[in-house]
Amino acid sequence: MSEILDLAGIFVFALTGALMGVRKRLDVVGMAVLASMTALGGGIVRDLILNVRPAAFQSLGYVLVPLVATVIVAFWHPHVARVMPAIMILDAAGLGLFCAVGTEKALEYGLNPLHATLLGVTTAVGGGMLRDLLAGEIPTLLYDRQLYAVPAMVGSAVMAALYVYDLHGWPATLAAAVIAFVLRIAAMRYGWRAPLARGVRPDG
């Protein structure tokens, strides 16, 4: 079940990466690279830091799912773009899942709660950061409009706290993921964003 949820999150993240490729007028190879980096980049960075073989290289599905997402976007990107609001809801669910799972894995490999929380955030937002860098964009992580990194940080912190109090398994993972998901959805709904430096006015 956990692998199915993982692949679902990878698929949604890959769609957003492939759509970025369309907006940048990249060919299908470039789209596939952005889709793969968005979907798998955060998990690969996490596993390399933990000094374990990345999960993306242990299952064929992790490689095939971003390619399937690329093909879908390549042929039907106008339709995919039209359902973007629904995709963003699924993206928020993937964000919650990835931050919780990433934090739990880091804790299981012996990291302290603070470092595990940071690695959970990396799992959730690292792929998007790599996508933006490859696409020549300022990473959205650096101007967290509509709160993306903050929900991941809250979800990761909740996961770490539950783990410290010996609450493990899917109920703890689900609780942390739901908290990050709800916070992300609320930020999208109400336009919340991280505060700017004192005296600096928001653009636009």
The whole-number pLDDT of residue 2 equals: 61
The series of mean pLDDT values per 10 residues for the chain, 204 residues long, is: 77 91 94 95 94 89 94 91 85 91 93 96 93 88 79 96 90 93 93 82 68
Domain extents in the chain: 2-190
Give the model's pLDDT for residue 186: 94
Residue 71, pLDDT score: 96
- pLDDT at res. 1: 57
Q: What is the pLDDT of residue 194?
A: 82
Going by C-beta distance under 8 Å and a sequence separation of 6 or more, which residues neighbour residue 111?
50, 119
Q: What pLDDT shows up at residue 183?
A: 95
Please tell me the distance from the alpha carbon of residue 174 to that of residue 167, in angstroms, as a whole number. Answer: 12
CB proximity list for 108: less than 8 A, separation 6 or greater: none
